[in-house]
Amino acid sequence: MALIVQKFGGTSVGTTERIRNVARRVARWKAMGHDVVVVPSAMSGETNRLLGLAREVQSVPSPRELDVIASTGEQVTIALLAMAIQAEGLKSRSYTGAQVRVLTDSAFTKARILHIDEERLRRDLAQGIVPVVAGFQGIDESGNITTLGRGGSDTSAVALAAALKADECQIYTDVDGVYTTDPRIVPEARRLKTITFEEMLEMASLGSKVLQIRSVEFAGKYKVRLRVLSSFEDEGEGTLITFEEDEKMEQAVISGIAFSRDEAKVTVTGVPDRPGIAYAILGPVADANIDVDMIIQNAGTDQLTDFSFTVHRNEHAKAMEILQKVKTHIGARDIVGDNRICKVSMVGVGMRSHVGIASQMFRTLSEEGINIQMISTSEIKISVVIDEKYLELAVRVLHKAFGLEQA
Ligand code: ADP
Ligand code: ASP
Ligand code: MG
């Protein structure tokens, strides 16, 4: 007998019929003798709808109030799911984050889980009750409702699995596992039987939304056995996130391609090439709490340099505004923005022992006439910034060039 945490994403609980399907799946696991804790997201589209209502009323809504409204989506699905599980003849009870006490910090709309009181859930499990816990939400020290950032139900599930020392955390979604790239962009993409934790962390942080990055961080920290599966199929192993590289069955150099459209670039042109200039440019950006991703500085011959960096597209306008203000102070010629860029990244632990991956990537892109604007590398990934109009083409040709469709 095992203890399993099962998380169901928005599409998986998108209608009452699908909620009944989820309940049937839970009943099957119970019938096999397992203990199950269920974590649903809101019905698909619901969180967007709620946030849209907020923006109709206030152009920049208060983050505290946004969390109060956004968290209601999950309150609907926990109740419906508990009812559906009861209708299967089982005992079930729904809980909001506050009722369990999923304690978070007070960073509204992107709160971090600090602690979970798992006592109540354990008592339920001991009595054969299936607890249904709202994903995405928690409560801070002062009793304010918080949410964990978009896609945060994954993190709720993994954190609950860690707190309960569950045998496995299963993430049920609308694809049957983690693929070599988003199967919506490349239909030939192949499901991976396993992916290492490190690779999954890179894929998630570089834009693959199949798992929220914090859920992968949690799984790594607490060694939670994590699996991604389809909620629309009864059979299937999905994808297991492994901790040991030798557990990885496929020995490909590249495991996957991730991409992100949420990118924007700022270029500061004609600044004096002297010590302290990077700090003068990025200091005010950091002070405004804006995360900078890639950075490029070109030393010119005339003692002047161009300095470019990328930020999340949502923060582009703010970053541009900050630099316009310090333009004269730093002695820049101009501040130029571009929010039509994207980032494409290749990820694989096999890169550690293989050279030439970067050059093969650059050649493949050049053969399609795709200009690379920025490059960044680490031991297990290579990222390039390109014009967003080439995103799908780039992902498709790289997927083919690296033979990712083959097992
Ligand atoms: P849920 O609502 O279940 O949390 P998400 O939409 O958050 O589902 O995540 C599942 C989606 O992630 C898939 O429909 C797919 O389009 C996308 N995705 C992006 N990259 C990948 C990948 N490498 N493998 C599988 N799915 C991916
Ligand atoms: N419902 C939340 C969202 O749409 C959380 C989640 O789906 O994981 O972001
Ligand atoms: Mg998700």
pTM of the model: 0.94
Taking the CA of 135 as reference, the closest ligand is: 2
Nearest-angstrom CA–CA distance, 356 and 140: 49
pLDDT(298) > 90:
no
Q: What is the pLDDT of residue 165?
A: 98
Q: Do domains 3-174 and 257-401 have the same CATH topology?
A: no
Question: Which of 99-113, 206-220, 287-301, 392-406 is predicted with the least confidence, judged by mean pLDDT?
Answer: 287-301
Query: To test the ligand 2 pocket, which listed residue (12, 39, 41, 76) has its Cβ within 8 A of the most ligand atoms?
Result: 41
Tell me how far the alpha carbon of residue 328 lies from the centroid of ligand 3, in angstroms.
44
Q: Is 173 in the pocket of ligand 1 (CB under 6 A)?
A: yes
pLDDT, tens digit, 9 for 90 and up, residues 232-274? 998 899 999 998 765 555 567 899 999 999 999 999 999 998 8
Q: Is residue 9 in contact with ligand 1, taking CB distance under 6 Å?
A: yes
| Protein residue with least CA distance to atom 5, ligand 1 | 210
Residues 199-241 pLDDT 10s: 999 999 999 999 999 999 999 999 999 999 999 998 899 999 9
The pair of structure tokens assigned to 185 is 């962009």
Residue 407 pLDDT > 80: no
HEC assignment per residue over the chain: CCEEEEEECCHHHCCHHHHHHHHHHHHHHHHCCCEEEEEECCCCCHHHHHHHHHHHHCCCCCHHHHHHHHCHHHHHHHHHHHHHHHHCCCEEEEECHHHHCEEECCCCCCCCEEEECCHHHHHHHHCCEEEEECCCEEECCCCCEEECCCCCHHHHHHHHHHHHCCCEEEEEECCCCCECCCCCCCCCCCECCEEEHHHHHHHHHCCCCCCCHHHHHHHHHHCCCEEEEECCCCCCCCEEEECCHHHCCCCCCCCEEEEEEEEEEEEEEEEECCCCHHHHHHHHHHHCCCCEEEEEEEECCCCEEEEEEEEEHHHHHHHHHHHHHHHHHHCCCEEEEEEEEEEEEEECHHHHHCCCHHHHHHHHHHHCCCCCCEEEEECCEEEEEEEHHHHHHHHHHHHHHCCCCCC
For the chain, the structural domain boundaries read 3-174, 257-401
| Arithmetic mean of pLDDT, 167-188 | 97
As assigned by CATH, the class of the 3-174 domain is alpha beta
Closest CA to 174 of 37, 64, 45: 45
347 C-beta closer than 6 A to ligand 1:
no
Cα 271 to Cα 8, 45, 219, distances in angstroms: 51, 45, 44
pLDDT class of 183 with cuts at 50, 70, 90 = very high
Tell me what the mean pLDDT of segment 5-12 comes to. 98
For a mutational test of ligand 2's pocket, the pick from 136, 173, 213, i.e. the residue with the most ligand atoms closer than 8 A to its C-beta, is 136
- What is the model's pLDDT at position 9? 98
pLDDT tens digits for range 59-107: 889 999 999 999 999 999 999 999 999 999 999 999 999 999 999 999 9
Q: State pLDDT tens for residues 343-386.
A: 999 999 989 888 899 999 999 999 999 999 999 999 999 999 99
The CA distances from residue 23 to 27, 81, 97, in Å, are 6, 7, 20
Residue-averaged pLDDT of the chain: 95
Tell me the fold of 257-401. VC0802-like (3.30.2130)
407 vs 396: CA distance, rounded Å: 17
CA distance 196 to 380: 11
Strands 226-230 and 168-173, bridge-based pairing: parallel
Mutate to test the pocket of ligand 1, among 173, 261, 391, 392 (most ligand atoms within 8 A of CB): 173
**What's residue 373's pLDDT?**
95
Altogether, the residues listed in the chain come to a count of 407
The strand pairing partners of 71, in sequence order, are none
Residues 368-380 pLDDT 10s: 999 999 999 999 9
Nearest CA to ligand 2 atom 4: 47
Ligand 2: residues with CB < 6 A are 9-10, 41-42, 47, 73, 135-136, 150-154
